[in-house]
Structure 1
Amino acid sequence: MTISFNRRQVLTSAIAAAALGGSSLTQAQSGERILRVGHQKGWLSVLKGRGTLEKRLAPLGVKVSWTEFNAGPVQLEALNVGAIDFGDVGEAPPIFAQAAGAPLVYAGATVPRPALEAVIVPKTSAIQHVKDLKGKRIAYNKGSNVHYFLVKLLEKHGLKYSDVQSVFLAPADARAAFEKGAVDAWIIWDPFLAAAQKTLDARTLADATGVVHNRAYYFTSRDFATRNADVLRIALEELNNIDNWAAQNKDAAAAELASVLGLDKSITALYLSRAQFGTAPVTRAILAEQQQIADTFFDLKLIPKKLNLLHAAPVDL
């Protein structure tokens, strides 16, 4: 599975989605409500395939439209131009979007899933402990959830962020660099992590357990949330239903997710074997976690201004 994009692709996707959303806005003004969902390949895709969200929302007179994107930041661009109302994303991309003035709020969050991101090294690497990363070349996606994980992992083991050589690469390019030996370690998330472990014989140096939470988030706009709290509640309930089903039916879930992602089932099975399941509305404690990430990125000069995220919920907490 390859995720790659540039600024032009981001804007093109967002503008295209906005064009699709134009008729939805007109219909909404005539009295019909529409939930425009932006999604990456994943659990929202599973929800789309099952059609249960449409069935739940039909009695409320709400229709659902779906637009697929190749990465979280692209979805956030679409939200910013008013093209979608709801989407899924990791911890870090919303921070950058909010720093740029996007009107997003956090509608929901998964439970912590720290085992789904890790530092990996080649099986024969001399690196045995986190402290051995000092001076080493580490590949990862800049400004992503694993960027934050790296900072906190180094801190936990008495190292500074400047003690390592960061090599900023998207997952596909990072995998190629790792495979060629051009980097000493790679920090990556599932299912890329499971794919590397299955096909590259990579060794896990450390995952995020005890370091960071690594939640996924569902976002919306303040305006949509104010007018459609009932719709958002149902959407989160349906996502949590899928979470609960996957927790009890991991083999079937691995098969369904493998079909969505275009991966071998053995990869998604490994991914799900260490996953935690559950989705719920955000709390002040969860927003405080995002605040810590925002503060860290500001200190690293990755965002231009300090953020206050304690009010970034659809309703006052």
Structure 2
Amino acid sequence: MSATSSWAAQDINLRVGDVKGDRIVALRASGELENLPYKLTIDTFASGAPVQEALNAGALDVGLTGDLPFLFVYAAGAPVKAIDAWKNNPDSIALLTSQHSTIHSLQDLKGKRIAVNRGGWGHYLILGLLERAGLKPSDVTLNFLGPVDGRAALASGAVDAWAPWEPYVSSAIIQDKARLVPQGGGQGIMSGYSYVLARETALSDADKRKAISDLLTRLAKAQVWAKQHPQQFAEALAKELQFPLNVTQAWIADAQVSPVVFDKSIAATLQQSADFFHGYKVLPKAIDVAPAFDYGLAEGANQVAKQFLATSPKAEATP
């Protein structure tokens, strides 16, 4: 009670940004946004890059986004650290083509035009898939587009393939009749991790730090609730994000979001990604990602994750 009173007295307001709002929807639908001892101002974005931009500009205290966009702002010196993570099914990041496309294998990508988000999951996936197919980046033409423009480009025939993530994968398959390219999933290529990020100015404020730690615990509890109540979560997503219910149901089933224990093993996966991107000169310089992590706020969230994983031993490993 004293902590709650202190936060209320200080009138703490955490400015939070989320991609497409699904984590925020889980917080709200699970009841974890009730009786907050601080204020939340929430904005949603179409992809991770604008979340990073808002964090870097000081418009957000906390941002929820994929792991890879973080590499570039961190490498550029942005005052942001990763403070928690969750995991998506790596195959929920996938290469799509149109219904009547001539692409029926990864080898068929040679000479094709492919839409990806520069420096993000799609970009990383296609480089990994080209390796898998024995092709080089020069064998294809990459069109750097955000997810909304990438979907439109595939639907119009302006590109031959597109590498999105959920919910764009399910939306394109169900609504546009797009199809997965065989072996075009992220298993074996993508880490599947997404991060909670925070500005260093927020982390250096003792009261905000306490509030952020509380928010991380609530996020983990909300993820467990969503995992255990997929139909209720799908209905909440459909209502709040104005998506068709069959899309949100497919999205949840494909993404399989689970809480994880936030420790140095998470940093190891980001280091591998940094080295991979640097090898292709997408990341202009080699970086050590170890200083990019602050493990001190996730104690409560880690307890939730450990309990969940102990009772659902296949939760994190299920692709």
Task: Provide TM-score, normalisation by structure 2.
Answer: 0.80
> Residue 25 of structure 2 corresponds to which residue in structure 1?
46
Give the fraction of aligned pairs with identical amino acids, expressed as a percent: 35
Answering whether residue 237 of structure 2 is matched by residue 261 of structure 1, we say no
> For the Cα contact (< 8 Å) 2:224–2:259, is it kept in 1?
no
CA distance in 1, matches of 2:145, 2:57: 27
CA distance in 1, matches of 2:42, 2:113: 40
* Distance in structure 2 (CA, Å) of the matches to 1:180 and 1:79: 34
Cα distance, 1:314–1:225 mapped onto 2, change above 3 Å? farther
Is the contact between residue 135 and residue 165 of structure 1 (CA under 8 Å) also seen in structure 2? yes
User: CA separation of 1:81/1:120 partners in 2, compared to 1, >3 Å: closer, same or farther?
Assistant: closer
Relative to structure 1, the CA distance from residue 202 to residue 90 in structure 2 (aligned partners, 3 Å threshold; closer, same or farther) is same
**2:277 is matched with which residue: 283, 297, 317?**
297
Give the 3-state SS of the residue equivalent to 1:257 in structure 2: helix
Matches within 5 A, 1:81-96: 81-96=57-72
Tell me the amino acid that sits aligned with residue 211 of structure 1. I
2: CA distance, partners of 1:54 / 1:275: 26
Structure 1 residue 187 corresponds to structure 2 residue 163:
yes
> In the alignment, which residue of structure 1 is the partner of 2:307?
none
**Counterpart of 1:153 in structure 2: which amino acid?**
L
Question: Is 1:283 paired with 2:263?
Answer: yes
One-letter code aligned to 2:198: T
Aligned to 2:219: 239
Residue 187 (structure 2) aligned to one of 179, 189, 209: 209
Could you tell me which residue of structure 1 aligns to residue 83 of structure 2? 107
Larger mean Cα displacement after TM superposition, 200-209 or 101-110: 200-209
Contact conserved, 1:123 with 1:203, CA < 8 A, in 2?
A: yes
Q: Distance in 2 between matches of 1:280 and 1:234?
A: 16
Residue 92 of structure 2: which of 90, 107, 116 is its match?
Answer: 116
The verdict on how the C-alpha distance between 1:168 and 1:78 changes in structure 2, with shifts beyond 3 A counting, is: closer
* Separation in 2, partners of 1:176, 1:152: 24
Q: Which runs of 5+ in 2 are unaligned?
A: 1-5, 299-319
Q: 1:48: Cα distance to partner? A: 5.9
**Most deviating of 169-178 and 305-314:** 169-178
1:282–1:313 Cα contact (<8 Å) kept: no
Deviates more, 1:275-284 or 1:103-112: 275-284
- How many equivalent pairs are there? 286
Pick closer, same or farther for the CA change 1:31–1:124 going to 2, 3 Å. closer
Tell me, what secondary structure is at the counterpart of 1:108? strand
Q: After the TM superposition, which of the residue ranges 168-177 and 189-198 deviates more from structure 2?
A: 168-177
What's the CA shift for 1:70? 4.5
CA RMSD, aligned part only?
Answer: 2.5
Tell me what 2:317 maps to: none
Shift of 1:291: 1.7
Alignment of 1:274 with 2:254, yes or no, is yes
Deviation digits for residues 3-55 of structure 1 (CA, Å, limit 9, x no counterpart): xxxxxxxxxxxxxxxxxxxxxxxx99x84543222234323431564563462
Measure, in 2, the Cα distance between the counterparts of 1:289 and 1:177.
31
1:162-177 correspondence to structure 2 within 5 Å:
162-177=138-153
> What's the offset of the Cα at 1:231?
2.8
Gaps of 5+ in 1: 1-26
The 1-side partners of 2:242 and 2:258 are apart by 24
The equivalent residue for 1:13 is: none
In structure 1, distance between residues paired with 2:112 and 2:50: 31
SS of residue matched to 1:216: strand
Q: How does 1:4-153 map to 2 (within 5 A)?
A: 31-46=10-25, 49=28, 52-53=32-33, 55=35, 57-58=36-37, 62-153=38-129
Give the counterpart letter for 1:108 in structure 2. D
More moved, 100-109 vs 46-55 = 46-55
Q: Which amino acid aligns with 1:249?
A: H
User: How far apart are residue 267 of structure 1 and its match?
Assistant: 0.7
* Alpha-carbon distance in structure 1 between the residues aligned to 2:70 and 2:86: 15
Change in 2 beyond 3 A, CA 1:201/1:63: closer
